[in-house]
Chains A and B, each alone.
Chain A
Amino acid sequence: MAHVAVLIPLLPLVGFLILITMGNQIKEPTSGWIATSVVGASFIATVIAFVLLLHRHSREATVNLFSWIRVGNFHVHVALLLDPLSITMCLFVTGISALIHLYSIGYMHGEKDFNKFFIYLNLFVFSMLVLVLANSLLFTFVGWEGVGVCSYWLVSYYFEKPAAASAGKKAFIYNRVGDLGLLFAMFLLFHHTGSLTYLTIFSHTSSLSPTTATLVVLSLLLAAAGKSAQIPLFNWLPDAMEGPTPVSALIHAATMVTAGVYLLCRMGPVLALSSSGRLTIAIIGAATALVAATIATSQRDIKKVLAFSTVSQIGYMILAVGCGAYSAAIFLMVAHAFFKALLFLGSGSVIHSLNGEQDLHLMGGLRKYLPLTFPTFLIGWLTISGIPPFAGFWAKGDVLVNAFEYNKALWVVGLLTAVLTAYYMSRLFVLTFRGTERFRGITHDHDPHESPWVMTAPLVILAVLSVLGGVLGLPWIHVSSIEGFINPVFGALPALSHASTTVQWSLGIVDVIAAVFGLLAAFTLWRRTEPWPLYESSFLYHVWHWDDFYDATIGRPLTAFADFSSDVIEPDVIDGAVMGTAVSVRKSSEGLRKLQDGLVRHYAVAMVLGIAVIVLFLVGRVW
């Protein structure tokens, strides 16, 4: 099993090395196929490791790789930790990565930097697997930064466009703020437990005082907020949509942005020590879910709607983590990876067919032109809206039941978000596929065309997974469900009174009513012939003016300080000191240089006088 486990992250790394060293010899489709096949092979290795893990008595294995740092008593061993949580993450990360690699071969066709794209993508998959499989916070941090930098490169992939370049920078800087939280959590944990290895930390949780535990949990929340785009650091994700659509699907919907949720789940035994910390997590999650959902209702860019939807769904996951329902969070994460990747790839297919147009107002009536994208997108739409029997219903229901048990107010927020989710997704769906054809101006009266099979095949597979994904967490098969499989990882769970079956069923019915309500509202409002009324609020379109707020409170004071430094401190203080020295030397030398008048006789007088002084001095000494 150790060998198979090592192969999981190693294969994408090999693909990365092949592509980066032989990139010039490999031409367009080949590099894509190499990248896809290494990730596919990594998926197969994960499946084998998963089956082997299922048949082991102890479902926890550490695979030692090498000793990394050895300073005095401080040892860091690089090792992979295989347990139900990490293997579940690996399964969907490698699986969806392989599908999106395949899709990218079609989507990136004809791009100038085709190879570069796959180099980044393979490096990203490697970093993500390191993040997930690492046995210590320090090694996880390596993967954490790796996915961050790959995200930066891929967001600013079209770096000639100023918007893409600045979006990459924005993503990177917001992530830095979050990384600070992770570093701080690492410092605290190392100071109090003497180790950064997960299992050692968990066996030393008793040495953490309640205050320390709360500090650690809040630092971890900051880290998760940065990486997973939660309040107050969520603004970077919508801008990150400047990257190519497969990147949005893979990094900014399915995998990297869920790393924060993974980190919180992984640190479950530490989270259990601080109930106030967990309440903060739940509140942040619920608030993000609601705020992002409201914003998504008024966005015009198809990818931005999906981006805010991602923020909102991750908010649900964070809410579940706060409630102590880690398995519900992971369940929603997996289901979300399926349907959000599906929706992003579907939107990519739409954008592809419309020569790169992303404005919803310029779409419409695409149903009959995209025979494969339409039904798969339909499934994705129903799934995220929470219509049974698709995966989204079960996963979201699971989160909401736990929220109901944890705190009724948070449950109401979650339910409201569910209504909004159904509303904005239906609006997106109607504007894209139904109604009049508003795209004629862009396509120059050509009919939009369906994408090649490398792009539609992943759509079909993801649609099937979105339909069947719900089986993973069906409430009545606890033994084989994701919950029964994963829960042992989290140790003693915070006390939760499990809802009775009646409550679960009635909550499920409430969820369906909420979803149908949002859905019908969107259809009645948006399914009109032109000119339809615009139910878009400028306040929501501008993201609650959140960026303006940061600009006013952080950006402008910093700019003002920088201006002050460059206008006052630099010329007056620094240059003043440097130039002042020079000026004072010149001023004082102006008197002295008069002595050098060029007349030899004056010099001779000086010499003779000098000699006279020396002689007098010597004579004086003798007497």
Chain B
Amino acid sequence: MSIPIAWYLVLAAVLFGIGAFGLLTKRSALIMFMCIELMLNAVNLTFVTFSRSFSDIGGQVTVFFVMVVAAAEVTVGLGIVVAVFRKRASTSVDELTELKD
């Protein structure tokens, strides 16, 4: 017995929606990062799903790429967050508006 493909896709859409909602509503940079990761993994899930369903290994390869890039992005992003935290004792992104001008 196999789980229908739609379930996977619905799960991915739900995860993506949670991530997007979190990204739009939260002010803490750390939580926003977590939301972005959630969205990325939702996309990964759709890739793997379609890879399985179409028997195309390309989707899984792409997922590896996404994971590597996400790891690198998190490294840099967390580095910035730590640096900002040391300077300001806060991780609220609403206070970081100096670069607009």
Contact = CB atoms under 8 A, between A and B. Distances in A.
B24 A598 contact: no
A608 B24 CA distance: 9
A599 B24 contact: no
B23 A604 contact: yes
B27 to A, nearest CB: 8
A601 B93 contact: yes
A132 to B, nearest CB: 75
B32 interface: yes
A598 B95 CA distance: 9
Interface in A574-623: 596-601, 604-605, 608
Contacts of A600: 32, 93, 96
A605 B24 contact: yes
Contacts of A605: 24
Given A605-B24, A608-B20, A597 B100 contact: yes
B99 interface: yes
A599 B25 CA distance: 12
Contacts of A604: 23-24, 32
A421 B37 CA distance: 108
B23 A599 contact: no
Contacts of B100: 596-598
B28 to A, nearest CB: 11
A75 B94 CA distance: 82
A598 B23 contact: no
A599 B20 contact: no
A596 B97 CA distance: 10
Interface string B8-44: 0000000000001001110100001000000000000
Interface string B87-101: 000000110111110
B96 A601 contact: no
Contacts of A601: 23-25, 27, 93-94
Contacts of A597: 97, 100
B51 to A, nearest CB: 20
Nearest to A594: B100
Contacts of A596: 100
B37 to A, nearest CB: 14
A61 to B, nearest CB: 84
A598 B20 contact: no
Contacts of A599: 93-94, 97
A490 B63 CA distance: 101
A597 B94 CA distance: 10
A418 B32 CA distance: 108
Contacts of A608: 20, 23-24
Nearest to A596: B100
B32 A598 contact: no
Contacts of B20: 608
Contacts of B25: 601
A198 B79 CA distance: 89
A600 B30 CA distance: 13
Nearest to A604: B23
A595 to B, nearest CB: 10
B41 to A, nearest CB: 17
A7 to B, nearest CB: 79
B90 to A, nearest CB: 14
A596 B98 CA distance: 11
Nearest to A608: B20
Contacts of B93: 599-601
A597 B100 CA distance: 6
B73 to A, nearest CB: 15
Nearest to B93: A600
Contacts of B98: 598
A601 B100 CA distance: 14
Interface in B54-101: 93-94, 96-100
A140 B99 CA distance: 72
Contacts of B27: 601
A600 B93 CA distance: 7
Nearest to A605: B24
A605 B23 CA distance: 9
Interface in A45-88: none
A597 B25 CA distance: 17
A332 B42 CA distance: 109
A597 B99 CA distance: 9
A598 B98 CA distance: 7
A261 B65 CA distance: 92
B17 to A, nearest CB: 10
Interface of B: 20, 23-25, 27, 32, 93-94, 96-100
9 contacts: A596-B100, A598-B97, A598-B99, A599-B93, A599-B97, A601-B27, A605-B24, A608-B23, A608-B24
Given A596-B100, A605-B24, 10 more contacts: A598-B96, A598-B97, A598-B99, A599-B93, A599-B97, A600-B96, A601-B25, A601-B94, A604-B32, A608-B24
4 tightest Cβ-Cβ pairs between the two chains A and B: A598-B97, A598-B100, A600-B93, A604-B23
